[in-house]
Chains A and B, each alone.
Chain A
């Protein structure tokens, strides 16, 4: 029997830090599909066209800066078909990956339906892949080592510098992408202030908690972990230190996969499923996963604002800007104003107010005012489908999920593979996935493993030091990881929720989690 230190009750009740949601700007578009645009009759070609026109100038600008000084004075060719043979030139176009293993609709139609279809591939990648560059005029095959180094996927807008070979291919010498866009928010007081923050008053920094893949309703639910998570977030679990940190969490973002897909397939054969011995976990909550989810959400929402995104497994449309869940789905939880149903890729602008935090602090830190200027951060959150889709295009030893996520920022496009292998709404005159601005925090849910990276602009011209924090948020039911992002310093913390010595759900899925490790590590 261990003797335990008693846990002191805080003398004055902890006060949760706050952050406010700021309305989005033009450059951080909404992904909502309004009834006006809710038409599926348009062709997907429009998307490629708009994407090219939107990004062409950015790529061109950067390519000029990069190649204009070259001695050989490469020629800029406006259209792919205008490429002059045996002359060094550069051209801008959309990448198309011609991959024999890529799912093909014609194959699908021609398939013998008496034979069950092969399971979907984990990777489309193979050696016979070829990279094409195309624009409205035509396409040309890109060859050369530089092309494979660039690790491109379909739909990316790039500039290629090279020469057409006698065989009609384009031998690429160098490539250029759009690069990081300007940041969506004003920079805060330069990088010095950030360092000061870390040293002195990080105890009052505001955090955002991110979670993905609660997978409620899966055959082995991680009920205990979710319970612990809820208790942690509401500030009840742990000792004073934990509670202090929990009180700094200003809002929770649920990045997809809150409900488990397996449940739906299994509903019919519920009786066949062997029950756990004794009182099984199913008995603790209503077996209806949605009720369980809304009960947990209600617990959370009564403590802090919550944003929920639909994900791949959720009961939501599969077409990519996944539209917000209907609020009514969540019963009592929906009665809270601070409960936000977001679309799947979603832009959030969050402001940490100076005034509010200093009042709340009651100036516990004397320097709180100077070190806590109001900060507005823009967050781009997805539930991970785009990254997971691009992951199929690329050989993983060189690439990783983190690097893919970083590339999307440089390509200025969240979901380049969208109309090709990723379902996407047929937009006619816009492409909301184009990143006109770089977010401060880029959260990718539904990942097999945690990962994080700071991505800065490559040029280093004037914008040095400004970075975007990429966070891959792993599935909670598989890893038990909650990610906290400091809104001021962009630092990341992980909180693991684990159960040891007891049988618990979620852990059984470790095997797939290990696969995920392999995925991330290569």
Chain B
């Protein structure tokens, strides 16, 4: 009675994979009507009832139960005056999920039974009704691929996908097919973002010298900054941008830009569609990423236009959008590009625009190139300082700034996953740069910090990371000794004895079962006489350490200062302690991660 396919599938699911099979998952698997699937389950159960591999059924009973009278308790007796309708009865039907033991009892409560059928088969008796939800994931996947209507899903004619999507796909109940049609295209965004992330310059504020070069054109040519700044971030602003970006493009681009904003919003939705196949959890992971592709093409133009010599970077990812979606990425005007990307009808317009834009951009780039040649380094720095700090720069520049802050807000609002995604990358980028000149024209210094987080399991995890801080020329020197001082504070234990730092090892087995050996240092109190030795010891140690350290840093004459500071250290031990209440604490924290790490 059971079809072979059904039998194979059921045996495999139940006894090899130990899964629950519901009528829905069976119907999707075999592509049959749900009612057939219900019968198949019954047949299979009957077939295998006497074998050594029995399966257990969970039943669903539907029918009518005793009607609920709305008179009496539900209505207030005082309101008799109201109407006779109060004594109407309400038809009640009931659908009950019940295991095989309770089936007879469950049936007893019905006045009329509509149907009794096997809801699911499971390798053992189901005790938790929540388990029937498990196969739903597969059902959902199947539904997005196939036509669920054939499986018995009654789909209303009014169910439509929103207008925002292109209409080349048939509407009606073909919600599933639309998803399908789009799928082949979708993997692209996942490739793109990675490239773009490498090239996108989120650490822009940390200023590579190259960026300083960009900054000048920003100030000199009026046209360039707007595309770079505004296009980058907010789609919402694209319209206003369009208007200012030149009369030639204006008339055509304006309607399109409106469309673009619509589409781009929907594209974010589209992008997460493939994730429907995978886990629900993945969905949230992918969403943030999907935002990037919209930004990406513009990035390339940004890089290119001010500095054509930089084009090797462009070459690398220009082809990407090209083969991904139509032709457009060669164009410099991001707006046009996006218009073409999304709708096919506009293909004809594209070439002409392409032409215009190229001519324009070359002239732009020539100009900017020339401008760049004229600048010497000092000017560069100053220009960047102006652009970032002067509040009364041209509107475009401030707009640029606003956009960036917008993005920051956006990024931070994207949730944890996103943050985790972004941070490591930012780090990478930073470390690549040789930098050290900040926007404000001050040198930057890399500072090693550590942060401690408590992870989901409750373990403390410590992460070392470095970041740049700008230092003024004068500050640079005095600041360092200060640090050292605070580090050197020797805490006094509760017992009044000085403490000595001792390096220990410990081995931890983490959640995954890996063992980690960790070096850490802690204070142990030392008796007075020892303490002297310790102090000497410490001094020696620090000396050697500092030597090593100073080598690693800029070799500039730090040494004399260090010597000074060392003398001070011993004297001002008390002082610093009193001065900065936090100092010992901080020292402790740093020491916790081992001396060598923290002193680099």
Chain A interfacial positions (CB closer than 8 Å to B): 1-2, 4-10, 13-16, 18, 20, 221, 223-225, 227-228, 231-232, 234-243, 245-247, 250-251, 271, 276, 278-281, 284-286, 288, 291-292, 295, 298-299, 301-305, 331-332, 334-338, 360, 398-400, 402-403, 406, 449-456, 458, 467, 491-505, 520-522
Chain A residues near B166 (CB-CB < 8 A): none
Roughly how many angstroms separate A28 CA and B157 CA in the complex, as a whole number?
A: 27
Check B60 against A238 for contact (C-beta < 8 Å): yes
Roughly how many angstroms separate A467 CA and B84 CA in the complex, as a whole number?
A: 12
Check A7 against B35 for contact (C-beta < 8 Å): yes
Residue in A243, A286, A493 whose CB lies within 8 Å of B154: A243
Q: How far is the CB of A161 from chain B (nearest CB, A)?
A: 19
Q: Is B529 in contact with chain A by the CB < 8 A criterion?
A: no
Roughly how many angstroms separate A453 CA and B79 CA in the complex, as a whole number?
A: 11
Residue in B70, B85, B99 whose CB lies within 8 Å of A467: B85
Q: Is B162 in contact with chain A by the CB < 8 A criterion?
A: yes
Check B154 against A234 for contact (C-beta < 8 Å): yes
Q: How far is the CB of B164 from chain A (nearest CB, A)?
A: 8
Q: How far is the CB of A438 from chain B (nearest CB, A)?
A: 14
Chain A residues near B34 (CB-CB < 8 A): 236
Per-residue CB proximity of B140-170 to A under 8 Å, as 1/0? 1001000011111111111111111100000
Q: Which residue, of B60, B70, B128, has the highest number of chain A Cβ atoms within 10 A?
A: B128
Check B98 against A500 for contact (C-beta < 8 Å): yes
Q: Is B341 in contact with chain A by the CB < 8 A criterion?
A: no
Check B93 against A234 for contact (C-beta < 8 Å): no
Check B153 against A238 for contact (C-beta < 8 Å): no
Asked if A400 meets B76 with Cβ closer than 8 Å, knowing A4-B118, A299-B140, A494-B91, the reply is yes
Q: Which residue, of B58, B88, B130, has the highest number of chain A Cβ atoms within 10 A?
A: B130
Chain A residues near B175 (CB-CB < 8 A): 302, 336
Per-residue CB proximity of B188-210 to A under 8 Å, as 1/0? 00000000000000000000000
Q: How far is the CB of B131 from chain A (nearest CB, A)?
A: 7
Q: How far is the CB of A192 from chain B (nearest CB, A)?
A: 16
Residue in B76, B153, B156 whose CB lies within 8 Å of A398: B76
Check B130 against A505 for contact (C-beta < 8 Å): yes
Check A450 against B158 for contact (C-beta < 8 Å): no
Q: How far is the CB of A279 from chain B (nearest CB, A)?
A: 7
Check B117 against A453 for contact (C-beta < 8 Å): no
Roughly how many angstroms separate A281 CA and B91 CA in the complex, as a whole number?
A: 32
Asked if A237 meets B60 with Cβ closer than 8 Å, knowing A402-B74, A403-B75, A500-B97, the reply is yes
Check A227 against B103 for contact (C-beta < 8 Å): no
Residue in B49, B130, B143 whose CB lies within 8 Å of A281: B130
Q: 19 A-B contacts, Cβ less than 8 Å apart? A: A1-B100, A16-B154, A16-B156, A235-B154, A236-B34, A239-B115, A240-B115, A281-B131, A303-B156, A304-B159, A305-B159, A335-B164, A336-B162, A398-B76, A400-B75, A450-B90, A500-B97, A502-B58, A505-B130
Q: Which residue, of A292, A495, A500, has the highest number of chain B Cβ atoms within 10 A?
A: A500
Q: Which residue, of A292, A403, A453, has the highest number of chain B Cβ atoms within 10 A?
A: A453
Roughly how many angstroms separate A218 CA and B356 CA in the complex, as a whole number?
A: 59
Using A284-B136, A303-B153 as known contacts, list a sample of 14 further A-B pairs with CB atoms less than 8 Å apart, ordered by residue number in A.
A1-B46, A4-B116, A18-B158, A236-B27, A242-B93, A247-B154, A291-B283, A302-B159, A334-B269, A398-B78, A452-B70, A494-B92, A500-B98, A503-B128
Roughly how many angstroms separate A279 CA and B269 CA in the complex, as a whole number?
A: 32
Chain B interfacial positions (CB closer than 8 Å to A): 23-24, 27, 33-36, 38-39, 42, 45-46, 49, 58-60, 62, 65, 68, 70, 73-76, 78-79, 81-83, 85-86, 88, 90-106, 114-118, 126-134, 136, 140, 143, 148-165, 175-176, 266, 269, 272-273, 276, 279-281, 283-284, 458
Check A303 against B159 for contact (C-beta < 8 Å): yes
Roughly how many angstroms separate A217 CA and B176 CA in the complex, as a whole number?
A: 28
Roughly how many angstroms separate A235 CA and B24 CA in the complex, as a whole number?
A: 11
Chain B residues near A451 (CB-CB < 8 A): 70, 74-75
Asked if A237 meets B91 with Cβ closer than 8 Å, knowing A16-B154, A304-B156, the reply is no
Check B158 against A20 for contact (C-beta < 8 Å): yes
Q: How far is the CB of A213 from chain B (nearest CB, A)?
A: 18
Check A239 against B62 for contact (C-beta < 8 Å): yes
Chain A residues near B82 (CB-CB < 8 A): 406, 455-456, 458
Residue in B116, B117, B129 whose CB lies within 8 Å of A504: B129
Check B130 against A221 for contact (C-beta < 8 Å): yes
Q: How far is the CB of A440 from chain B (nearest CB, A)?
A: 14
Roughly how many angstroms separate A497 CA and B74 CA in the complex, as a whole number?
A: 21
Check A504 against B128 for contact (C-beta < 8 Å): yes
Chain A residues near B105 (CB-CB < 8 A): 500-501
Q: How far is the CB of B366 from chain A (nearest CB, A)?
A: 43
Q: How far is the CB of B163 from chain A (nearest CB, A)?
A: 7
Residue ID in chain B nearest A235 by CB atoms: B154
Q: How far is the CB of B141 from chain A (nearest CB, A)?
A: 11
Check B128 against A522 for contact (C-beta < 8 Å): no
Chain A residues near B81 (CB-CB < 8 A): 458
Residue ID in chain A nearest B85 by CB atoms: A454
Residue ID in chain A nearest B280 by CB atoms: A286
Asked if A335 meets B158 with Cβ closer than 8 Å, knowing A302-B143, A502-B127, A503-B128, the reply is no
Check A281 against B140 for contact (C-beta < 8 Å): no
Check B157 against A16 for contact (C-beta < 8 Å): yes
Roughly how many angstroms separate A284 CA and B20 CA in the complex, as a whole number?
A: 12
Q: How far is the CB of A498 from chain B (nearest CB, A)?
A: 5
Check B88 against A454 for contact (C-beta < 8 Å): yes
Asked if A402 meets B76 with Cβ closer than 8 Å, knowing A237-B62, A279-B128, the reply is yes
Chain A residues near B154 (CB-CB < 8 A): 13-16, 234-235, 243, 246-247, 303-304
Roughly how many angstroms separate A278 CA and B62 CA in the complex, as a whole number?
A: 29
Chain B residues near A520 (CB-CB < 8 A): 73-74
Q: How far is the CB of B90 from chain A (nearest CB, A)?
A: 5
Chain A residues near B95 (CB-CB < 8 A): 228, 232, 237-238, 242, 495-498
The 3 residue pairs across chains A and B that have the minimum distance between CB atoms: A239-B115, A281-B130, A501-B102
Roughly how many angstroms separate A288 CA and B287 CA in the complex, as a whole number?
A: 15
Check A337 against B160 for contact (C-beta < 8 Å): yes
Chain A residues near B60 (CB-CB < 8 A): 228, 237-238
Roughly how many angstroms separate A234 CA and B24 CA in the complex, as a whole number?
A: 11
Roughly how many angstroms separate A7 CA and B176 CA in the complex, as a whole number?
A: 27
Check A236 against B140 for contact (C-beta < 8 Å): no
Residue in A18, A360, A502 whose CB lies within 8 Å of B126: A502
Roughly how many angstroms separate A299 CA and B176 CA in the complex, as a whole number?
A: 12
Residue ID in chain A nearest B103 by CB atoms: A2
Residue in A6, A8, A234, A498 whose CB lies within 8 Å of B96: A498
Roughly how many angstroms separate A299 CA and B159 CA in the complex, as a whole number?
A: 12
Chain A residues near B85 (CB-CB < 8 A): 453-454, 456, 467
Chain B residues near A505 (CB-CB < 8 A): 129-130
Chain A residues near B104 (CB-CB < 8 A): 2
Roughly how many angstroms separate A501 CA and B56 CA in the complex, as a whole number?
A: 14
Roughly how many angstroms separate A284 CA and B165 CA in the complex, as a whole number?
A: 32
Q: How far is the CB of B159 from chain A (nearest CB, A)?
A: 5
Asked if A239 meets B128 with Cβ closer than 8 Å, knowing A495-B93, A499-B96, the reply is no
Q: Which residue, of A241, A360, A398, has the highest number of chain B Cβ atoms within 10 A?
A: A241
